[in-house]
Amino acid sequence: MTTSDRYLAFANSAVGSKLANALGLPRPVPLERMPAYGEPDAEASAHAISPPLAVVGGAGDAPLLPTLARELHWLGVPSLAHADRLDWISRANQAGTMSGRFNAAEGVRPKALIFDASAITSTDALTSLYTFFHDTLASLDRCARVLVFGLPPHLAATPQASTAQRALEGFVRSLAKELKRGATAQLLYVAPAARESLHSTLRFFLSPRAAYVSGQVATLQDPVFETPPMRDQRPLTGQTAVVTGAARGIGEAIATVLARDGAHVVCVDIPSAQEALSAVATRLGGSPLSCDIAAPDAAAILRAHLSVVAPAGLDILVHNAGITRDKTLARMSEAQWQSVLDINVGAPQRLNAALLEAGTLRERARIVGVASISGIAGNRGQTNYAASKAAVIGMVEAWAPLLAERHMSINAVAPGFIETQMTAAVPFAIREAGRRMNSLGQGGQPVDVAETIAWLAHPASGALTGQVVRVCGQSLLGA
């Protein structure tokens, strides 16, 4: 059960909105999210894309436009061309999508702005970004999406081009902080070898799945495994996922979203959570497994369970289980230090190694760890927790090239302030600061973390590995 944000509800009520406007108080916009598992429209809506209209632009020869035209057609997103990119109209029409010219004076409210900056080779050419967004931003609808595509700077042909591509990061992060009414912005660096691997990423970022992700930079590299045939409805059908810490909170949300997308979910949690764990697994049609992941025999117990429910092997492994034992370092016991490090990062590494050695992880397997912005920015009284979550990020970076050799991926999410039972116990002032100190002015929901993990676990996300994606509404803390 998540905590309600009373200020968010009040600021968007008839009386509260007038008072907030009169006093100059912030009015965070309720974010658009996918329906919950089991709701009447959840099955159909889970595969929908929200933007009814996108405006597309680009610089130079904009090499990603042909792929974007095809993908927007597959995703059912109509588009308009910016005045500097009228060749988009013919590209979109050839791909099967009707397109026209964007004219702000007509009062059109696009739900997405998409700009291909991957051909920018000098800082002077960055002016094309200014022109496109200066012309279009004021027209954006609420909860809109802004996507800028670039070329990974290390792949640029000249130092000048690399410099210009690196500038995109500062531009997008700043732009995301200027957006209003629940809109978000992301920078997606795309290696030439990954140009045909955009589907799952566009599907995620152009939909309510990415409601609480903003100001992020992701790099699509040479895919570590090939994309299977397109299947947006229940893309995880026939696959098995393991989610640790699945009895409640974020873990329950992760299990729920993966089950919605078709996976058989093995829900893992400690024996004391058996009743809640069984209820979650039963609701999702999955299987419960009571197991302390830090125990010496944890890997053997998990392998034995998987040999029954998934004899062909494991497709998705989500390391969500974690604990906190908060104390300033001078007052922290060695046991409090060691237990947090062992459960939060020691156990996941042991499970990775054991499942790899046993051949339990199938080819094209995806591993996702749950880090935290505490592991990026640090937090007073959490030297143990922050060290463990920074280590999760280190695990992703270190294991990515090793797993790529086996055609597997590993990524992580780093949640910010998420509305859970744990954050509900935080003192009021600190809780309010956590909610408001981000570009969206509110806390996230467990489903926001779950949807991001489902994107990284998608069979078409083979170009994503070694990535750490913050799910924090672009928190003002950390990088």
Place of tokens 């998705």: 316
Helices (H), 181-312: 199-205, 249-260, 274-284, 298-309
For the stretch 232-266, what's the b/e string if a residue is b when 16 or more beta carbons lie within 10 angstroms of its beta carbon? bebbbeebbbbbbbbbbbbbbbbbbbbbbbbbbbb
Cross-strand bridge partners of residue 218: 188
Please give the backbone phi and psi of residue 217, each rounded to the nearest 5 degrees, phi first.
-125, 120
Place of tokens 């299987």: 287
| Residue 385 known to be catalytic | yes
Candidate list 37, 189, 212, 385, residue with the active-site label: 385
For the stretch 138-173, what's the b/e string if a residue is b when 16 or more beta carbons lie within 10 angstroms of its beta carbon? ebbbebbbbbbbbbbbebbeeeebbebbbbbbebbb
**Contact present, 196 and 221 (Cβ < 8 Å):** no
Please give the backbone phi and psi of residue 117, each rounded to the nearest 5 degrees, phi first.
-105, 15
Place of tokens 């676990």: 457
Sign of CA pseudo-dihedral 344, 346, 348, 351: negative
Rounded Cα–Cα distance for residues 252 and 203 (Å) = 23
Rounded Cα–Cα distance for residues 208 and 323 (Å) = 29
Rounded Cα–Cα distance for residues 62 and 473 (Å) = 29
120: left (phi over 0), alpha (psi -120 to 50) or beta: beta
Q: How far is residue 426 from each of residues 3, 186, 408, 430, measured CA to CA in Å?
A: 11, 30, 38, 7
**Catalytic machinery residues:** 385
